[in-house]
Amino acid sequence: MALREIIILPDKRLRQVCEPVKTVDDQVRALMDDMAETMYDAPGVGLAASQIAVMKRVAVVDASRDEDEGERVKNPIFFANPEITWVSDEMAEYEEGCLSIPEFYELVERPAGCRVSYLDYKGKNREIECEGLMATVIQHEIDHLNGVLFIDHISKLKRDMVVKKFSKAKKRESAA
């Protein structure tokens, strides 16, 4: 396992649609392991492969809130080729953030529940029904795989301000 670099807005790769995984083999599992290590180190509750500049439909999520003597109990769920097959009519608002848009948080409204089909760590077809935080996180990560960022769900004014801020920071960094 290895920590991977998380790419930051305005990196254009964050806007690319990821390619499906043909099979979950050792190479994909190694990617999943690296993604989990990177997500926990960040720390975050989800990570899409596109956030580490790997354009494959792979995501890892751990929305569990369990702690054991002050330490987070790790319970990652690995997704290859995740697809939302159903969403609830009921909506829910959560304050979202993103490892690729550090230190910016905003309320986002999404379906309160969803069903997702995917291939698991071993390549088996699975389906999971999610609600609450887990539903929000998996929708956020699937958005990444489709080249969509959580800021696309907020007002154009706020989104433009965030993009401008990160673009300026990138220019300052490049000039240094």
Catalytic residues: 141
CA distance linking residue 80 with residue 122, whole number of Å: 10
**Alpha-carbon dihedral of residues 102, 173, 59, 156, nearest 10 degrees?**
60
| Residue 118, CA distances (Å) to 11, 49, 82, 138, 162 in order | 27, 15, 4, 11, 32
Phi, psi of 96 (to 5 degrees): -105, 150
Q: Give the three-state DSSP class for 80.
A: strand
Whether omega for the bond prior to residue 10 falls within 30 degrees of 0, making it cis, is yes
Instruction: Write the DSSP assignment of 32-60 as a string of letters.
Output: HHHHHHHHHHTT-SEEEGGGGT--BSEEE
CA distance linking residue 100 with residue 11, whole number of Å: 9
Let me know: does 142 contact 98? Beta carbons within 8 Å.
Answer: no
